[in-house]
């Protein structure tokens, strides 16, 4: 069986990078939303309506994307890392009992 190792520092670093990137993407989508609002007030007609409908769908998907990424970050920070650290601490304590 292969030896598996968990690097808790790398998990913490990865979750921090994900948080930063998710925030950057959210910021860029907010910029797009702001520009879309300006465009929506000036672009009248069927093509404008269709374009705005498509953009609003994209913005909704972005919100869902952000939620999924945030849930993944939360899992890494609240379950994976602490769970692994707790398990390792328990294993070390049990191993010490047999010394």
In the predicted model, what is the mean pLDDT of residues 57-84?
88
- Listed by start position, the domains of the chain span 12-93
User: DSSP string spanning the chain?
Assistant: -------HHHHHHHHHHHHHHHHHHHHHHHHHHHHHHHHHHH--SHHHHHHHHHHHHHHHHHHHHHHHHHHHHHHIIIIIHHHHHHHHHHHHHHHHHT-
In the predicted model, what is the mean pLDDT of residues 7-25?
92
pTM value > 0.85: no
Task: Give residue 1's pLDDT.
Answer: 66
Each residue of 17-27: pLDDT tens digit? 999 999 999 99
pLDDT at 29 over 70: yes
């Amino acid at each position: 069986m292969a030896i598996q190792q968990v690097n808790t520092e790398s998990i913490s670093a990865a979750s921090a990078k994900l948080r930063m990137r998710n925030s950057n993407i959210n910021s860029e989508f907010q910029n797009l939303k702001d520009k879309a609002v300006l465009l929506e007030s000036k672009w009248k007609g069927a093509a404008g309506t269709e374009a705005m409908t498509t953009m609003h769908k994209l913005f909704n998907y972005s919100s869902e994307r952000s939620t999924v990424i945030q849930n993944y970050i939360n899992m890494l920070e609240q379950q994976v890392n602490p769970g692994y650290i707790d398990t390792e601490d328990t294993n070390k304590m049990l191993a010490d009992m047999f010394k």
